[in-house]
């Protein structure tokens, strides 16, 4: 099963963002992961619209928008127009998540839900018919560099067991170390959001992006 390697651009060097995008692109990553925060749904602010525009202009690879914002249905057209290929919403942030997921698909984009550590499989089961991706959070959303929450392992198994029935891909977001990539890929996780644990900062350990990608593909 091919791994989808998705660098979390919130962790990139913003002083040289365009160069970072080109270097990651050339290294062979699959999807650029963009965290969008509003300071309400999560107690932090994430990437700006100008950052999304720059990244979109700098690569032909897929980019996703992880909308950690209230009322994401109001902004589907905005991020679709910016060129995001995949749009994730948190069901808790939307009064009508099924309608918003359909809205994403109607805009010609892949629809996804982000599942918080405290959100159960059963809570979002009815939405899976409208999902192309399920982003399982192994940390609480809003901040980079957090510790992996072990009790989510069972949730990964649940979503992987149901993915063929509903037709979505399972992606991990949060403290995604090489060890976790090796473990989770064996149970059917296909996508890996790469932050400080595997790609940037301490995860890089002085290696080039190409070397990191090559090593992760071997796991």
**Among 51, 64, 132, 173, the one annotated catalytic:** 173
3-class secondary-structure state, position 26? helix
Q: How far apart are the C-alpha atoms of 125 and 14, rounded to whole Å?
A: 37
Instruction: Please report, to the nearest 10 degrees, the dihedral formed by the alpha carbons of residues 110, 116, 122, 128 taken in order.
Output: 0
Which tokens belong to 46? 């994430």
* Residue 173 appears among annotated catalytic residues: yes
* Residue 85 appears among annotated catalytic residues: no
**Among 25, 35, 51, 94, the one annotated catalytic:** 35
- Residues 199, 212: contact at Cβ < 8 Å? yes
Beta-ladder partners of 115? 136
Q: How far apart are the C-alpha atoms of 219 and 213, rounded to whole Å?
A: 10
Q: How far apart are the C-alpha atoms of 172 and 194, rounded to whole Å?
A: 9
Known catalytic residues are 35, 173
């Amino acid at each position: 099963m091919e791994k989808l390697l998705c660098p979390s651009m919130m962790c990139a060097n913003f002083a040289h963002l365009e160069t970072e995008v080109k270097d990651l692109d050339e290294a062979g990553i699959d999807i650029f992961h963009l965290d969008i925060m509003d300071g309400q749904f999560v107690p932090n602010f994430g990437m700006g619209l100008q950052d999304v525009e720059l990244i979109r202009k700098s690569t032909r690879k897929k980019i996703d928008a992880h909308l950690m914002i209230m009322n994401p249905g109001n902004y589907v057209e905005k991020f679709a127009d910016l060129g995001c290929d995949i749009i994730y919403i948190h069901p808790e942030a939307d009064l009508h998540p099924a309608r918003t997921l359909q809205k994403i698909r109607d805009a010609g984009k892949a629809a996804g839900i982000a599942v918080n550590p405290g959100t159960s499989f059963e809570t979002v089961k009815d939405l899976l018919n409208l999902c192309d991706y399920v982003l399982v959070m192994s940390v609480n959303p809003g901040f980079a560099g957090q510790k992996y929450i072990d009790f989510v392992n069972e949730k990964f198994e649940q979503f992987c067991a149901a993915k063929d029935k509903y037709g979505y891909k399972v992606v991990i977001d949060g403290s995604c170390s090489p060890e976790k990539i090796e473990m989770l890929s064996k149970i059917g996780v296909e996508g890996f959001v790469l932050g400080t644990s595997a790609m940037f900062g301490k995860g890089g350990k002085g290696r080039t992006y190409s070397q990191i990608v090559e090593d992760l593909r071997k796991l």
